[in-house]
């Protein structure tokens, strides 16, 4: 199937099935990548046709109002919390998920710095993925984009879970991630877990996603807080599913005057005010 895949000659659904298969087999993935690169050469076997000048004008107009996928953090940084890239050295690049393939922009600021604009600023893969998810860009369908079809299996099934889980809040995520002033902030905790925050002041919306967060003590949960000059306001709980599947959760509550976001461990059901020290405190 690698050849058929490289030529885009698979029908609906077959492409995804193939990519799942290729993801499970490094040899298939390698062959698929090479044949995709070979297929791209076939494009050169067609005569060039100069498009009409109006096409260029209309393309240039279109891109000026089109948001780009944000740059992502380096997959090679073993500390990025993504287990799938642990073995993705340069000798084995085809197993890296496509979304994480790009190199980071040089001199990328630390991932935890908040307030960067999406197109050029720092972001972590998790944030990028929801962005893709929320924008309706099916990651699974774009896996072969860079001539790379392989998305490692556990990564892919995680994304599928995210996709399913996110459907309910997808409209809200959609709105959030389409906002013109989307910002992201990422914190890495001492135990290696990451907490990613995406928010838009214009939309008054915020979403949080965690990865690698341990299960809270029995009878407890993670409570979200929006903090302003008046103190901390409860902003919902992270569900056990959200914690285990690393799915994004919309943060509920008024954003006006909010300067910080926090997470504390609270008794199940939440507390009206924080009773423990925050495990995460992020300035917005």
CB-based contacts of 42: which residues, under 8 Å, 6+ apart?
none
Residue 64 touches another protein, criterion: CB under 8 A: yes
CA 82 to chain centroid, in Å, comes to 11
Closest distance to another protein from the beta carbon of 115 (Å): 17
Is 84 or 210 the residue whose CB approaches another protein more closely? 84
Size of the site for another protein (CB under 8 A): 63
CB atoms within 10 A of CB 93: 16
Residue 76 touches another protein, criterion: CB under 8 A: no
Closest distance to another protein from the beta carbon of 37 (Å): 5
Residue 156 touches another protein, criterion: CB under 8 A: no
SS3 102: coil
Q: Which of 23, 82, 88, 98 binds another protein (CB under 8 A)?
A: 98
Q: Map the footprint of another protein across residues 119-138, applying CB under 8 A.
A: 119-120
In the block, which residue shows the tokens 């780009």? 68
82-88, long-range: CB within 8 Å, 24+ apart, which pairs?
Answer: 82/125, 82/155, 83/154, 84/152, 84/154, 84/155
Closest distance to another protein from the beta carbon of 188 (Å): 22
Q: Which of 24, 112, 140, 146 binds another protein (CB under 8 A)?
A: 146
In 3D, which of 36, 40, 34 has the Cα closest to residue 15? 36
Report helix angle 153-166 to 125-134, nearest 10.
Answer: 50
Residue 6 touches another protein, criterion: CB under 8 A: yes
Q: Which of 17, 27, 42, 113 binds another protein (CB under 8 A)?
A: 42
Site pattern 204..243 for another protein (x: CB under 8 A): ----------------------------------------
Per-residue DSSP letter, 254: -
In 3D, which of 189, 261, 193, 197 has the Cα closest to residue 223? 261
Residue 101 touches another protein, criterion: CB under 8 A: yes
Q: Which of 26, 105, 267, 278 binds another protein (CB under 8 A)?
A: 105
Which neighbouring-strand residues pair with 223?
A: 237, 264
SS3 220: strand
User: Which chain residues interact with another protein by CB under 8 A?
Assistant: 1-4, 6-11, 31, 33-52, 55-56, 58-60, 62-64, 66-72, 90, 93-94, 98-99, 101-103, 105, 119-120, 142, 144-148
């Amino acid at each position: 199937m690698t050849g058929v895949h490289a030529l885009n000659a698979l029908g609906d659904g077959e492409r995804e099935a193939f990519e799942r298969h290729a993801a499970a087999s490094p040899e298939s993935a390698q062959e698929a990548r090479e044949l995709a690169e070979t297929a791209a050469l076939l494009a050169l076997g067609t005569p060039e046709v100069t498009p009409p000048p109006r096409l260029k004008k209309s393309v240039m107009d279109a891109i000026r109002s089109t948001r780009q996928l944000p740059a992502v953090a380096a997959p090679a940084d073993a500390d990025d919390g993504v287990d799938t890239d642990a073995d993705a050295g340069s000798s084995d690049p085809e197993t890296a998920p496509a979304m994480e393939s790009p190199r980071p922009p040089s001199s990328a600021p630390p991932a935890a710095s908040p307030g960067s604009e999406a197109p050029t600023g720092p972001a972590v893969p998790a944030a990028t993925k929801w962005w893709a998810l929320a924008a309706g860009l099916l990651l699974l369908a774009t896996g072969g984009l860079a001539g790379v079809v392989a998305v490692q299996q556990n990564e892919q099934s995680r994304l599928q879970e995210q996709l399913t889980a996110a459907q309910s809040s997808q409209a809200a995520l959609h709105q959030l991630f389409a906002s013109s002033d989307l910002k992201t902030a990422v914190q890495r905790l001492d135990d290696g877990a990451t907490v990613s925050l995406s928010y838009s002041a214009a939309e008054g919306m915020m979403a949080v996603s965690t990865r690698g967060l341990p299960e809270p003590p029995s009878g407890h949960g993670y409570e979200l807080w929006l903090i302003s000059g008046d103190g901390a306001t409860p902003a919902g709980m992270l569900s056990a599913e959200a914690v285990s599947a690393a799915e994004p959760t919309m943060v509920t509550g008024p954003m006006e005057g909010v300067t910080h976001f926090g997470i504390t461990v609270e008794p199940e059901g939440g507390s009206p005010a924080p009773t423990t020290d925050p495990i995460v405190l992020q300035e917005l």
